[in-house]
Every structure is written in structure tokens, then in C-alpha cells.
Structure 1
Amino acid sequence: MAPPDRIEFRTDERGGVTVLRDGHPQSYVDPDDPGLLAFEYVQHFALVLDALPVGPLAITHIGGAGLTLPRYIQHTRPGSPQIVLEPDAALTEAVRREAPLPRGHRIRVRATDGWSGLQQLAADSADAIVIDAFDDGRVPGDLVTTGAMARCTEVLKPHGVLLFNIADRPDRVFLRRVLASATTAFDELLLITTTEVLKKKRFGNYVLVASAAPLDVTDLRRAIARADFPTSLVGPAETAAWARAAKPVLDPSEDPAPPAQTEGTLRFR
């Protein structure tokens, strides 16, 4: 059965596949090389996850698309139990057919939205929560509220981390509001982004890293310095200052995310 019209797969000369939903690029997947991460912000996710203690990690992903990051974790940390909350069952079915998952994986996809799926997760069950969710190209409003942040802290283990892909315009109005929400639940926050996005040269992606425990910024700075393209870290003090300049999101119906634009830029490493 062919995938629905709104789901598209584009194969390039490398053999990799870009997954599009409603015309928006969602993922880049190379089933033969799961270590290849093409979107900048996915590489930023990996920088943080690679810095966590060695061995399998229990990770919950909110947003699945091509399952790029779960494949990467299975590749770098075999045996990691992973839960993926992806409401679009047709998309997941098409991805499994067009870009099959590796044998022996422990990736479990649940056909539910992020907010509903969060309520079903056990407390202290995740080493990391990765939010990379878009609805018609916009971050869902119910994932940026103070209630969503509080629930993430309940699901995370004491030293667990939240990674959140936040796409915003150069004015950073939406980003600051998400940061304000996050500060109501997490003690320490920082941001990773490309240098050109940090300099407000274009709409782009910021990866929020949040934890109830202190974050090892020194090791992360070293990893960022080794990145193949200019990448910057906004430390806890500056991130906290940005958060203080905005009001947290209390009502999910407010949905303050900016209009959809292309999420992420492909830069092969």
C-alpha cells in the first residue's frame, strides 16, 4: 500500500532518504549508516547524548518521523530501550517499509501524541527525553507549557536530561517563552545552536538542554569545538537571562510557536 499523499520519501545519490510530511522535511535517514546525521539540530542532540555515561540509555522520543535519532542511539549504544511517541501511525508504517529498522533494536513506537503519551510514562523511567515534535510545521502548544515541563521532570531520572528542538525566528520571542516555562521545572538550562542562528542571521533551530542536576558544560564545550561546522553554546547564566525576559506558557491553547518554516539544515558530517 502506498503511503498517504502527505508523506513523501526522497532518495538522494548517497542512498539516504529525506522524509517529508505535509511538504516539511522531518528527517534524513540512511539505513546503511545510522551514524550519519544530516540535520544540524539532530547533530546537536547527539553531542549531548554522546556525553552521557557509557552504556545503554533509556530514552523517550516525542516525535518520530524517520526515527533517525533512535537509530543513532541503537547504533552507538546497542540495547538501549527507547520509546517513541508518534501520533501519525501511517507515517510510522511508511517509514518502517521504506527505511526498515535494524535487527535487534529495542525501539517501540506508540501511536499517540506527545502530551498524551507523557501521561502514560512511568516516573523516573528515562535517562533522556528528546522532544522533536511538529504539527503542521509548528511545535505543539501543549508541549511548551509549565505543565508539560513539570511532567518531563517526573518521567526523567534524577540526573536525566530534557532535549527540546525549538524552531524560532531571529527575534527569539517563542524561544524565550519556552525557556521561561522550562525554568519553572528545571534548575539548569543551556542552549546549542549554529553560530549563524545565534547571530540572528536566519530562522533556525535551538536545542534546549535542561536538567534538575548540574550540567557538565566543560565537556560539552569541547565536543562543540570539534563540530564540523560553526556551533555555539549559550551557557546557563545567559540562558537563564533570556528566560527572565519572557512569561512562561500556562495555557496550551495559546500555542505561541511561529508559523512553519523548513526545520533544520542538512550538513553531512
Structure 2
Amino acid sequence: MGSEPVAGVRRVRFGNAELSADPERPGGWLLRVDGIAQSYVDLDDPSYLELEYLRYMGYVVDAVEPFDRPLDVVHIGGGGGTFPRYLSAVRPGSRHLIIEADAALAEFVDERLGLRAVPGVDLRIGDGLTELATLPDASADLLVADAFEGLRMAAGITGPVFTAQAARVLRPDGIYLVNLVGTRHHLDEIRASFPYRVLLDGDVFAGYIGNQVLAASRIPLPLDALHRRTDQEMPPVRVAPDPSR
């Protein structure tokens, strides 16, 4: 990135994007779309994850041994590039393909926060399913679905066609991470393709409702390491098996 980031607002495909500096954390930048927080990036410390659901994803990846192994990662949805930045910091040498449907948002983030300058990042503008279908079989260790259409989860992410492509692109020991925006999702297709699944959320407090993260794989997930990672967190994190129905 050739210049210091600056705050600003831009009309993008799915709403109005606003980037603002965090007055309490040097290097911190918050990206909102139509007033809803989409990404938080700390340019000085990419390992810092402000948003809870991204911390949940980080806990899963942190539990995968060897802990410093570089990963091949496909990100469906780019936002501010928070998770690619995190993985590049904690697992140097990782390679990232970011597939972003909102070209205006991607250019806004790249211009202000240097998305393409993140180590190992390849940014591709296009429809998530269409671009996923072009990738080689068994070419990714991790597939992250964190895509929005406005304030809703992108259509089809948990459906049969997208799930089949995710299973094809992931290696046999790969992990599928899905940000489940909202409260009700039909996960039958994912359950059929990935027999090992856990849900992470923070709803241990009465009345608390937030994003859930689904971690799914065709081999057993590293639950012992995951619990060691989450048991001491505050606020508490729940790690629970995803039921078959």
C-alpha cells in the first residue's frame, strides 16, 4: 500500500460502505456496509481479531497441527481481508485466493487498506460458485465462506451445488468454515458431505444471539486442541457438535 489509509464512504454493490479509524486502537479500521460491521482490520497487528465470529474461525485454524504449517486457503467473500491477514501473520507462507462478488467493495478496500498487498493474496472478482467451480480438485486446505448480499448471507452457500464444489476443492483433510449469519439455516447438504462438524458461538449468556461458525470436515476435527484454545476465553465460547438434524 503506497499511502496511509484514510476514512471514507463509497457506494458499492450491496449498499454503502464506510471505513472509519478506531480512535482507541492505533492501526484499527472498521468497515461497515449500511451501518453493519463487516470487518475490522488492525494494520499494525494482523493477528488481532476484533469481531467474535472471526475469532471463532481463528480458534479452529489454531487447533490444526502442525500449528505453523502454511495453508492453501480459498475465501468466499473478502470484506476487509481480516482473515487472510490473520492467517498470513500466524501461518507465514499461506496462500490465499479471495473471491469477492462486489467489485466496488474490493477496490475500495484495496485502495484504502491494501488488500492486494497482503502476503500470499490473489484477489479475484466474481461470483463465488462460478469461480469455485474453476478451481482444481483437492487444492485447498481451508475454505472460508463469509459472504454477504447486503445484510444477508449470500444465497446458496449452504445449498447442494455450492457444498458439492466445496467438497471437491477441499483436500480430504480440509476444513470448511461457514459464517452462519442469522438464526436458521438448512445444513442438510453440508451434513451429508462433511460428517464431522462443530458449531462455535458465544450464546452462553441468556438472551445473547450472535453469529455462529460451522466447522466441517471429512475427518475428525481437533476437538481437544480446540477446547484448550477456547476454554479460557472471555467472553466464553461454546463449542458444540452440530446435530444431524
| Residue equivalent to 1:26 | 38
Q: 1:104 to 1:136 in 2, by over 3 A?
A: closer
The answer to whether structure 1 residue 149 and structure 2 residue 155 are counterparts is: no
- The one-letter code sitting in structure 2 at the alignment partner of 1:216 is P
Partner of 1:224: 230
**What TM-score, normalized by structure 2, do the two folds share?**
0.88
Whole-angstrom distance in 2 between the partners of 1:98 and 1:146? 36
For each residue in 1:201-252, what CA deviation from the matched residue of structure 2 results, as whole angstroms up to 9, or x when unmatched? 24311110100111121111111113232111112xxx22xx42xxxxxxxx
1:104 is displaced (CA, Å) by 6.8
Aligned with 2:219 (options 213, 217, 229): 213
Native 8 Å contact 2:202 2:208 kept in 1:
no
Task: Choose which of 14, 18, 21 in structure 2 pairs with 1:11.
Answer: 21
Aligned to 2:50: 38
CA–CA distance in 2 between the matches of 1:102 and 1:85?
12
Q: Contact between 2:64 and 2:222, CA under 8 Å: does it hold in 1?
A: no
Aligned match of 2:3: none
Cα distance in 2 for residues equivalent to 1:88 and 1:135 = 9
CA distance in 2, matches of 1:4, 1:211: 38
Matched, 1:191 2:199: yes
TM-score, scaled relative to structure 1: 0.80
- Percent sequence identity over aligned pairs: 33
How many residues in Structure 1 have an aligned counterpart in Structure 2? 230
Runs of 5+ unmatched residues, structure 1 = 245-269
Q: Superposition RMSD on alpha carbons, in Å?
A: 1.8
2:142 is paired with a residue whose SS is strand
Is 1:139 the counterpart of 2:153 in the alignment? yes
| Structure 1 letter corresponding to 2:194 | F
- One-letter code aligned to 1:230: P
SS in structure 2 of the partner of residue 123 of structure 1: coil
1:142 counterpart letter in structure 2: G
1:168 maps to 2:182? yes
| Aligned residue number for residue 158 of structure 1 | 172
Separation in 1, partners of 2:200, 2:190: 15
Superposed CA deviations along residues 3-39 of structure 1, whole A, max 9, x for unmatched, are: 6231210111113111112332110011111011000
Aligned AA for 1:8? E
Deviation of residue 187 (structure 1)?
Answer: 1.3
1:104–1:183 CA distance, 2 compared to 1 (3 A) = closer
Q: With CA pairs under 8 Å and 6+ residues apart, which has the higher RCO, 1 or 2?
A: 1
Contact 1:7 1:19 in 2 (8 A): yes
Indicate if the aligned counterparts of 1:9 and 1:18 stay in contact, CA closer than 8 A: yes
8 Å Cα contact 2:116/2:122 also seen in 1: no
Q: Is the 8 A contact 1:146 1:185 kept in 2?
A: no
Which protein is richer in helix relative to its size? 1
